[in-house]
Structure 1
């Protein structure tokens, strides 16, 4: 025998079922979000990777593709390193004699590489290019395709050259330091190269590195390190000849790569001291004081990569072993989180 419930009871039961099922959906959704957060990868303290005789000088972190990009003084190859320490080639080209500093121009999806010839690539060095080569190579950051190369040393053919580091401004102009000549080059977004700044005050003795690390400040100037002098310079984009020396409370001897943490905070690697200094300014880089120091192992740190917001990682290049012709060559290299 069938029993029929009054319509009001049927409606109440339907509303109750909807409420219960809705709460279950909300609960399941909340659990899913929590699981995603719990399972999100934590950036490692250090990434060690093995590639014998690589001797990387530059490093960038490519967040889009979850990898570090590293250069090589001995092969020229730009490699990629995963968090598990897996190394593989990313960009290979005969134009890469020794790849030095790099800049990942995220908004334009390109990787800029400074190319030089210190004589460490036995397959590609030559009498015509050793200590004479300064080149900018530009790659597609996703597939490693070579987009263009720009000759810089040819602007001053009588001088020695070593293209070292790169900064890119908001308009896509690249600025490249030359460690063997007192020059900063400018390569515009169309690929035209010019001498942006040349001044004997920026020169270094013949056996030493002069201009080195460089960063672009969004207020319209460059901050440039000079290794031999342990100095920092402020170079206005609109008036490069009006550059000034930043008064710094710390000797930056051996200054190499740099990272602008924020408008008033700069991190500077000093390979000669095996330290990363954090500098802070209160007057737009007229002067700066040390607000933190990170001491690295004696493995010749060279430069920095930004990751996860303000976190930075320093590359231990072991270039001192390369310079000393160490045998066997170093095979394990490390990218380590900086802790001030």
Structure 2
């Protein structure tokens, strides 16, 4: 009887140790580890927007020079997803899995192989793609809503009902595209305008409390804009300006935390927190990127990634970069 008990005890102990080892190995499985950096090669691509698709485990990237939308996997393999003729320069990208669609902002800063005199500095549009088959579902020209202005569709956000909001960096306008695909001017204000040739409104996110947070690039400030009463918008009080404020991303688990990518001469990603529903905020952490022109941010589970777009080289006439990075942000 004693021997049976000892044998039983040893067998149980071995089983526990084995199961514990399996659990530990599973926790450290490569599938659960996200890479620190994804590097991909594509001559002269100059992507501005990035978004992660959880289903395909790939990143979507845009292109100021070619207009094409591509996918990049963790191994850095780039593949063209869409390259329709009406994609002149593509900027912001949003993966909207709830509607199985990819949203693409379209502009023309004069850097694209598809640039024309009719579109340069005057193009503000979005294209909507089926995420499954890559077909263009619709193309919406936003510039016709204010035909006398210059236009640059920059970034987009989707609210909890599926409405799309688009920033126009040149016209100082936020557009709305409702769930029926009808576009309108959601709100415009002289405070949103920028000097000719400068970028004004840029990154935009929807906050679950019912408002938009929008970055103004040239001034380095953030606005809080209620959806129900946009004219009651306010500037979020920060301890300093964040010059070159570009892409925005709300923390996946805490809507009181915002991540902001800043380029121009700043070249940092800021973590910003609020305790009063974004009336004021403080900078709680920074991530230095170096001189790589960090533009937009992709969320992947609880991680944030920033795109190293190198647009400073493009805008200075040195359009020969062929290596780009999607970098995990480590505060």
Once the two structures are superposed, what CA deviation does each residue of 1:279-300 show, in whole Å capped at 9, x if it has no partner? 1101100001100011102010
Contact 1:57 1:101 in 2 (8 A): yes
Q: Secondary structure of the residue that 1:84 maps to in structure 2? A: coil
Residue 25 of structure 1: how far off its partner (Å): 9.6
- Which of 66, 70, 91 pairs up with 2:82? 91
Matched, 1:39 2:19: no
Contact 1:90 1:143 in 2 (8 A): no
Partner Cα distance (1:108, 1:25) in 2? 46
Matched, 1:51 2:45: no
- Which of 286, 305, 312 pairs up with 1:320? 312
Matched, 1:177 2:167: yes
In the alignment, structure 1 segments of 5+ residues that lack a partner are 1-19
Residue 33 of structure 1: how far off its partner (Å): 5.4
TM normalised by structure 2 equals 0.92
Who wins on radius of gyration, i.e. which is larger? 1
Alignment RMSD (CA, Å): 2.2
Q: Choose 54-63 or 86-95, whichever is displaced more.
A: 86-95
Contact 1:99 1:115 in 2 (8 A): yes
Could you say which residue in structure 2 is the equivalent of 1:109?
A: 100
Partner Cα distance (2:273, 2:232) in 1? 22
- 1:1-340 equivalent positions in 2, closer than 5 A: 35-41=25-31, 42-122=33-113, 124-261=114-251, 262-272=254-264, 273-309=266-302, 311-326=303-318, 329-340=320-331
Residue 21 of structure 1: how far off its partner (Å): 11
Partner Cα distance (1:114, 1:157) in 2? 18
Residue 88 of structure 1: how far off its partner (Å): 0.9
Partner Cα distance (1:282, 1:223) in 2? 15
Q: How many residues align?
A: 324
Could you say which residue in structure 1 is the equivalent of 2:3?
A: none
Q: Secondary structure of the residue that 1:247 maps to in structure 2? A: coil
Partner Cα distance (1:333, 1:255) in 2? 20
Partner Cα distance (1:33, 1:90) in 2? 38
In the alignment, structure 2 segments of 5+ residues that lack a partner are 1-9
Partner Cα distance (1:312, 1:278) in 2? 11
Residue 156 of structure 1: how far off its partner (Å): 0.4
